[in-house]
Chains A and B, each alone.
Chain A
Amino acid sequence: MTAPMIAMNGITKSFPGVRALSDVSFDVRAGEVQALVGENGAGKSTLIKILSGVYHADAGEVHMNGEAVHFAHPVESLRAGIAVIYQEFSLLPERSVAQNLFLGREPRTRLGLIDTSRMRAEAREVLSLFAAAGHIDPDSLVGSLNVATQQVVEIAKAVSTGARVVVMDEPTAALNETECEELFATVDTLRNRGVAIIYITHRMREIARLADRVTVLKDGEVAASFDTLPSPDAIVRAMVGRDIEDFFAPKAKPDEIGDPVLTVRGAGNDVLRDIDLDIRAGEIVALAGIQGAGRVALAMALFGEAPFATGDVTLAGEAVSFRSARAAIAGGIGLLPGDRKSEGLVLMQSVRDNGMLTSRAFAPLWTSDQRNDNADTTRMDALLDQMEIRAASYEQDIRALSGGNQQKAIVARWLSMRPKLLIFIEPTRGIDVNSKAGIYHLMRDLAREGAGILMISSDLPEVIGVADRVLVMQSGRIVAEFPHDASEQDIMHAATAETEVAA
């Protein structure tokens, strides 16, 4: 067997407080597609940045064609024949395809002028290598092409500069069905030409269609590597580290559901109309709907941020009408915001300070650490431990943590308050699979302890996997209700169908 085109051995890389990669070995041979799979934060991008010279590994070595290489800068790896195709393109939109292909190395005439006709001819030649690029006019402006075609131009550019290794980072993220097919054909062409391809993705379909081998990264380590194409189940198991069945927490049993925690009758405001809503203790209710259907507005109305103008709200048997978030929290409602960075975290503060933000907000201003606060600090640390938050220390700035760990710190904030009703807005957006499972189980634990839970999510499998009951909103109203075993199609239909004017 020939030496691999690229072999990375024992790569280790730490960032302050976080070990991003530990002892990762990875290789790719000429003429094959090696799929690199893993959740967000698993270390895929870090590994690629080490390969291309953006980062430097703390330990380990990179070999190219059997020789050790040290790239200090992306320019050096590019010169050695490693092309990384990022999701954002490096093409100039206001230049033609041919100009982009030969940017910085234009063919010259004897007088030193750019030889446009030769450039055009050579561009046509390069493009003709790709079935999907056959129809591209070298004179058309790159900005006028669709995303998939631009991608082909980018790849053609890499090939024409003599790239022997092409790295593609989730290349289908912005493509539609037909465009994906074009891209797959392009990848096939590259493979047949003997290029080594590293293909980063987490879509099983693409792996099945393209990959010769698969390497799964999880938490900065190689969780599995397959020399032949494995079954999707095997990949998922390696990615998640557990079977898919215990990914979601079990649903509530009938005897776990108690009295109503929250009752809303005929409530409305500028965006909401005729809201009737019941949430019982021990129950997780999901709010589904499309963007702008009023789900977040409903959450913010309950939370006092944008209160109801009309209607009645009862919380644990008492009529309430909260005019501010602070009042709502005092009354026993908690809310995990949808945009972690802009609404949830105080990024420059420590993990512990983020966790204690709310409990401190309801202690006297002049309370000091030396006084009764101290006990709370240990309790918060115990909570953070229990949630398995990965941080160098709880004194560390929270911004250095992964999304999942940040989210857990916000959940810890609410756990310490023991709210009667807890609203989760997009609780797992942008976090890794293990943190997702952790948060699902936490939600269930909270419900079992008697809280009512309202979850807003745009992720339908999540809605179905987590909720005991699903409400669908549209144009500021609740338009449908489903039991926990509803299908995605039913929910989607209710969320998008034209509502019959019933009122």
Chain B
Amino acid sequence: MTDTGSPRSSALRRRLSQINPVWVLLVLLIAAIIFMNPRFVEPTGYMNFLKRAAPLAILAAGQVYVIVSGGFDLSVGSLITLVVVGSSMLTNNDPAATYWVIPLMLTMGLGVGAINGLIVCFLRVPSLIATLGMMITLNGLAFLWSGGAPRGYLPDTFRFFGRELIRDVPLVRFIPVSVLVLIVVVGVFAWAMHRTNLGRHIHAIGDNPVAARLAGVPVNRVRITAFMISGLSGAIAGILLGGFAGVSTDVGAGYELQAITAAVLGGAQLLGGKGSVPAAFGGALALTAIFTLLNFLGLPQPVRQVVQGLILIAAVALAMHRRKQTGT
């Protein structure tokens, strides 16, 4: 026969084929970045990279919940804008206001997610349309709230999370606060997705909603929870972005598609049933690394969009190909 080979090498091959390709991609991209900029290996290099990737990575970790449950959440980009604009309006340069504005913004994120979920579950609007409508609505709200000209300041207490560093850390010298937030959020999201009943049910309703319902899974409750987690991730990402990007009415624009791209790069199955929070995190890092490389090459912004679009298509095509190979 033609396809011989010792059983050990085929077992090894199988083990290798189970490694999520996003990690291979990420290693290659990081190697390319180091090649072009050797200083990347110093803490200032990679910590700044992680800091820049943090909002997208958190957003992607939340987006995975909705994708695995069988939907999309396009509203998170506008939600970021609304959080940033709303925070600047509410804090009104008062440093003490941060302590109630941040919890309020997190609650708003959960609330927007809950509304998305309710619309999808009870009005039977497909999630793509429901969250597209929410995206436009939230954008409009942000404009209305700020009168089109947002006040350009957020107090330093608010910007602490996006901008500050914790210094004198052994080994790495410093850690940005946003990277700590990133680690905690991705850790908790990964635990909830892969180690709890909630995560199992999100997988089940995305895989086969009819079977899940007939098995007694509270499908609506689980779906709404998935949207709420995505909304929460949008609010957290907004708080970080407000910290280092400042206030504008397009601060969140495009983030929703980047988050979906990152999740799919990490192997999340569009239409639901399969996906991983750590791999979406890897996808977000890979996407940020690609943008970094394009920056080094001096390519203009529109090229980023072209590349991002092609990556999304390529990632889905690759996922379909692997599914055909492993599935029946």
With A56-B2, A57-B1, A370-B195 known as contacts, the answer to whether A344 contacts B214 (CB < 8 A) is yes
Closest chain B residue to A414 by CB distance? B215
B172-180, B198-206, B290-298: which lies at the interface = B198-206
Binds A, one of B53-61, B84-92, B148-156, B217-225: B217-225
Tell me, yes or no, whether B6 is within 8 Å of chain A by CB. no
When the two chains form their complex, are residues A361 and B198 in contact, meaning their CB atoms are under 8 A apart? no
Say if the beta carbon of A393 comes within 8 Å of chain B. no
- A382 vs B207: C-alpha distance in the bound complex, in angstroms? 26
Least CB distance, B239 to chain A, in whole angstroms = 24
Interface assignment of A461: CB less than 8 Å from any CB of chain B: no
Question: Restricting to B31-63, which residues have a CB under 8 Å from any CB of A?
Answer: none
| Contact call A399/B216, Cβ cutoff below 8 A | no
Contact A345:B197 (CB < 8 A) given known A56-B1, A365-B222: no
Tell me, rounded to whole Å, the shortest Cβ–Cβ distance linking A56 to chain B: 5
Main secondary structure on B side of the interface with A: helix
The answer to the question of B210 belonging to the interface, with a C-beta cut-off of 8 Å to chain A, is yes
- CA–CA, A59 to B200, complex, Å? 39
Contact of B198 among A343, A365, A370 (CB under 8 A): A365
Contact residues in A for B211 (Cβ distance below 8 Å)? 337, 342-346, 357
- B3 CB within 8 Å of chain A: yes
How far apart are the CA atoms of A287 and B19 in the complex, in Å?
49
Tell me, rounded to whole Å, the shortest Cβ–Cβ distance linking A54 to chain B: 13
**Residues in chain B near residue A16, CB distance under 8 A:** 14, 326
Please tell me which one of the listed residues B191, B207, B328 contacts residue A368 in the complex, with CB atoms under 8 A apart: B191
How many Å lie between the Cα of A361 and that of B225 in the bound state? 14
> Is A70's CB within 8 Å of the partner chain B?
yes
**Number of chain A interface residues as a range:** 35 or more
Interface stretch of the complex, out of A129-137, A180-188, A347-355:
A347-355
Residues of A within 8 A of B221 (CB): 365
Q: Are B328 and A349 in contact (CB under 8 A)?
A: no
Contact across chains for A366 and B215 when beta carbons are under 8 A apart: no
Which A residues are in CB contact (< 8 Å) with B225? 365
Please give the distance in Å from B215's CB to the nearest CB on chain A: 4
The reply to whether A365 and B203 form a contact with Cβ atoms under 8 Å apart is no
B169 CB to nearest A CB, Å: 29
**Do A357 and B1 have beta carbons less than 8 Å apart?**
no
- Is A367 close to B, CB under 8 A? yes
> Judging by beta carbons under 8 Å apart, are A348 and B269 in contact?
yes
Is B212 interfacial (CB 8 A cutoff)?
Answer: yes
Determine whether A326 belongs to the interface, using a CB cutoff of 8 Å to chain B.
Answer: yes
Q: A347-B208, A363-B197, A366-B196 are in contact. Are A413 and B327 (CB under 8 A)?
A: no
- Most chain A Cβ neighbours within 10 Å, of B196, B210, B327: B196
Q: Say yes or no for A72: interface residue by CB 8 A criterion.
A: yes
| A292 to B212 alpha-carbon distance, docked (Å) | 25
B213 part of interface (Cβ distance < 8 Å): yes
Does any Cβ of B come within 8 Å of A254's Cβ?
Answer: no
| Contact assessment for A342 and B215 in the assembled complex, using a CB-CB cutoff below 8 Å | no
Would B214 and A337 count as touching, CB distance under 8 A? yes
Across the two chains, which residue of chain B brings its CB closest to A328?
Answer: B216
B197 touches A366 (CB 8 A): yes
- Please judge, given known A-B contacts A337-B214, A361-B201, A365-B222, whether A70 and B1 are in contact too, CB under 8 Å: yes
B141 at the interface (CB under 8 A from A): no
**B203 contacts A349, CB within 8 Å?**
yes
* A119 beta carbon closer than 8 Å to chain B: no
User: Are A335 and B214 also in contact (CB < 8 A) when A72-B2, A368-B191 are?
Assistant: yes
Chain B residues, Cβ within 8 Å of A325 = 213-216
A58 at the interface (CB under 8 A from B): yes
B191 neighbours in A (Cβ, 8 Å): 368
Provide the bound-state CA to CA distance between A227 and B298, in Å: 78
Q: How far is the CA of A325 from the CA of B219 in the complex (A)?
A: 11
Counting CB contacts under 8 A, is A358 at the interface? yes
Cβ of A265 under 8 Å from chain B: no
Q: For B201, what are the chain A residues with a Cβ–Cβ distance below 8 Å?
A: 360-361, 365
Contact of A399 among B14, B210, B327 (CB under 8 A): B327
By the criterion CB–CB under 8 Å, are B215 and A357 in contact? Answer: yes
Q: How far is the CA of A346 from the CA of B216 in the complex (A)?
A: 13
Q: Which residues of B contact A365 (CB under 8 A)?
A: 196-198, 201, 221-222, 225
Does A86 sit within 8 A of B, measured CB to CB? no
Bound form: Cα–Cα A363–B225 in Å = 16
Contact B214 A305 (CB under 8 A): yes
Q: B14 to chain A: which residues have CB within 8 Å?
A: 16
> Which residue on A lies nearest to B222, using beta carbons?
A365
Please determine whether A329 and B216 come into contact, CB atoms closer than 8 angstroms.
Answer: yes
Using a CB-CB cutoff of 8 Å, which residues 55-109 of chain A contact chain B? 56-59, 61, 70, 72
| Residue B274, interface by CB 8 Å | yes
Cβ of A348: which chain B residues have Cβ within 8 Å of it?
A: 203, 207, 269, 273-274
C-alpha spacing A370/B191, complex, angstroms? 11
Q: Indicate which residue in A58, A335, A366 contacts B192 across the interface (CB closer than 8 Å).
A: A366
A415 at the interface (CB under 8 A from B): no
Which of A361, A369, A370 meets B217, CB within 8 Å?
Answer: A361
Shortest distance between the CB of B81 and any CB in chain A (Å): 31
How far is it, in angstroms, between the C-alpha of A360 and the C-alpha of B197 when the chains are bound? 6
Cβ contact within 8 Å between B197 and A373: yes
Q: Is A112 interfacial (CB 8 A cutoff)?
A: no
Bound complex: CA A58 to CA B218 (Å): 45
Check B214–A366 contact: CB distance below 8 A. Answer: no
Residues of B within 8 A of A342 (CB): 208, 210-211
- Beyond A363-B197, A370-B195, whether A357 also contacts B207 by CB under 8 A is no
Q: A72, A335, A365, A367: which has the most chain B beta carbons within 10 Å?
A: A365
How far is B212's CA from A329's CA once the two chains are assembled, in angstroms? 13
B-side contacts of A343, CB under 8 Å? 208, 210-211, 214
**What's the nearest-Cβ distance from chain B to residue A112, in Å?**
38
Could you say which residues of chain B place their CB within 8 Å of the CB of A305? 214
Write the B141-170 contact mask toward A (1 if CB under 8 angstroms, else 0): 000000000000000000000000000000
B12, chain A: closest CB distance, angstroms: 15
User: Quick one: closest A residue to B219, CB to CB?
Assistant: A326
Q: Given the interface contacts A70-B2, A348-B207, does A362 sit within 8 Å of B216 by beta carbon?
A: yes
Closest A residue to B328 by CB, please name it.
A399
Contacting residues, chain A, for B3 (C-beta < 8 A): 56
A361 to B326, CA, bound (A): 28
Tell whether, in the assembled complex, residue A346 and residue B214 are in contact, meaning their CB atoms are under 8 Å apart. Answer: no
Whether A346 and B197, one on each chain, are in contact in the complex, defined by CB atoms closer than 8 angstroms, is no
A-B contact pairs, 16 of them (CB 8 A): A56-B2, A61-B1, A325-B214, A330-B216, A346-B211, A346-B212, A346-B273, A348-B203, A348-B274, A349-B204, A357-B212, A357-B215, A366-B196, A368-B191, A368-B196, A368-B197
Q: Identify the 10 closest CB pairs spanning chains A and B, nearest first.
A: A346-B207, A329-B216, A348-B273, A361-B216, A365-B198, A357-B215, A361-B217, A346-B204, A360-B197, A358-B215
Besides A325-B213, A326-B217, A368-B196, 4 other A-B contacts (C-beta < 8 A): A342-B210, A343-B211, A346-B273, A348-B203
